[in-house]
A = this chain, B = another copy of it.
Amino acid sequence: MVATTDTPPARRRRKDGEARRAAILDAGLDLFSALGLHGASVDAIAERAGLSKTNLLYYFPSKEALYVAVLRRVLDVWLDPLQALDAGSEPADAVRAYIRAKLTLSRDAPQASRLFCLEIVQGAPLLRPELEGPLRALVETKAAIIRGWSDAGRIGAHDPHHLIFSIWAITQHYADFAAQVDAVTGLSLDDPDFFERVVASTQELILAGLGLRSGPADPVPG
């Protein structure tokens, strides 16, 4: 088939290719997060992405290569909110904002959270270097900020690592264990009311742990 538009064929093809790749990555995230690396088949991913199995393997040389590509993309989203936690803000505001950002991510990108969880639970065979490098460095930076706050008496003394882990654990729980939360309560973060209650409860818990009285609620964006 020839190019039927006046768009230069080369450019056109490349743009389609990018869209195709993105669709494949999306489909991969869907299925890998639900079924695991070995539970998801290339065939099923291809079908969801709207192309054939062989065609998918034209874009990614192998299933594992696709999996790694999906995972890399997830990790980027992952590190994002923590980057934003900065020393300049008031501690209570910074922590509140961070909790809301993490829970928003759990609501809007639960599959990314789950895939990340699957990978870590299984020992992070592929992610280990990323965790020991960039993640560790980032956590140390932020831990230093928190320690600075407590040294200045702006928050109570608390192990910064444990604080960060606790926030991660609680906020990601609502994405990773959504099936359990739903089974027990019948609710999910997609319910706006429930979402706000979870945000408030988590903020109260963490701020109380830091010895900060829970002040006025943070502004709801939107």
Contact = CB atoms under 8 A, between A and B. Distances in A.
Interface of A: 33-39, 114, 117-118, 120-124, 128, 131-132, 135-136, 139, 150, 155-159, 161-163, 165-166, 168-170, 172-174, 176-177, 179-181, 183-185, 197-198, 201-202, 204-206, 208-211, 215-218
A147 to B, nearest CB: 13
Contacts of A34: 122-123
A132 B177 contact: no
Copies of the chain in the assembly: 2
Contact of A179 (B37, B123, B179): B123
A4 B16 CA distance: 74
Name the residue in A155, A170, A174 with the highest tally of chain B Cβ atoms < 10 Å from its Cβ: A170
Contacts of A179: 120-121, 123-124, 128, 131
A206 B118 CA distance: 27
B120 A118 contact: no
